[in-house]
Amino acid sequence: MIEVNKSILKNIYQKRPEDARKYDYGLLLVIGGSEFYSGSPAFSALAAFKTGVDMVRIIAPKRAADIIASFSPNLAAYPLQGAHLNKEHLTTLISMSESAKVAARGKVAVVIGGGIGRSQETQETILEYLSQVSLPVVIDADAIHALGKKPETISDQLSLVTPHAHEFFVLTGKKVLELSDEEKIRIVQEEAGRLKTTILLKGKIDIISNGKEVAIAKAGSPYMTVGGMGDTLAGVCGALLARGMNPFEAAQAGILINDLAGEIACKKLRESVMATDLIEAIPQVIR
């Protein structure tokens, strides 16, 4: 079993060659948001930029996309017509995913689920998208609820699922909240193997497994309960996938970056910490 530490970052953040080009360090697609939730995709995108991805494209329902585009000139948000993701958007999602693959010379990944909603049509659209697109993907939040209905959708795909304890139950039917760390580790490894994916179970101790190997991370802070810090984690992991890391290694580096940045922000701000504070602390972790 691996205990994650900062040594994993040394291999990622080496001096860049003088002839580096745009997209050498990845293009991330963030699919999420809805009429009510616009912050989640923005948190993921901003965290991904701070982690070192070259470009982020957000795809969201129109109201969310318009709000997100106003947050920062760094954020490019494509508006989908309507209040929620629906099946009419599938052609656009697939087309934009394939064009991203060409533009970025294959250095592409997807984050899907943050703030996207749980209506039946939205959940069905998520599953259909995942079944048709062969890109490395971080499946988070509402997309985990969709995946729980048909987990075989991602079998053998380069994927990382990032549940907390309740989302893990939705995904697998296994209750782990009250179990010992040893039991949690065993179940996460079993379920990752069964689903043929990498799972990052968030908690006091974060547990990562691809079904074969297991890693644990013990950083973080009890003040990291504020909304948005799961979204930042998804963005960090997505950025690392887009740079070319495999899901198991991206999950290890991603949780370490997110947790250490959270520690820095929480030490300074305690009860007043917000997800944006974590994002601003990421450079102190990776420099």
Confidence (pLDDT) at 263: 98
pLDDT band at 275 (very low <50, low <70, confident <90, very high): very high
The answer to whether residues 279 and 47 touch, using CB atoms and an 8 Å cutoff, is: yes
Helix (H) or strand (E) holding 283: helix 275-286
Q: Report whether pLDDT(225) > 90.
A: yes
Give the torsion through C-alpha atoms of 206, 209, 214, 216, to 10 deg.
-10
- How far apart CA 9 and CA 33 sit, in angstroms, is 30
pTM above 0.85, yes or no: yes
> Which are the contacts of 108, defined by CB distance < 8 A and separation ≥ 6?
26, 27, 28, 29, 97, 100, 101, 135, 136, 242
pLDDT tens readout for residues 73-113 = 999 999 999 999 999 999 999 999 999 999 999 999 999 99
Looking at 3.40.640.10, 3.40.50.300, 3.40.1190.20, 3.30.70.100, the CATH number of the domain 24-286 comes to 3.40.1190.20
Q: Which two tokens stand for residue 119?
A: 């209506």
Domain residue spans of the chain: 24-286
pLDDT tens readout for residues 21-78 = 999 999 999 999 999 999 999 999 999 999 999 999 999 999 999 999 999 999 999 9
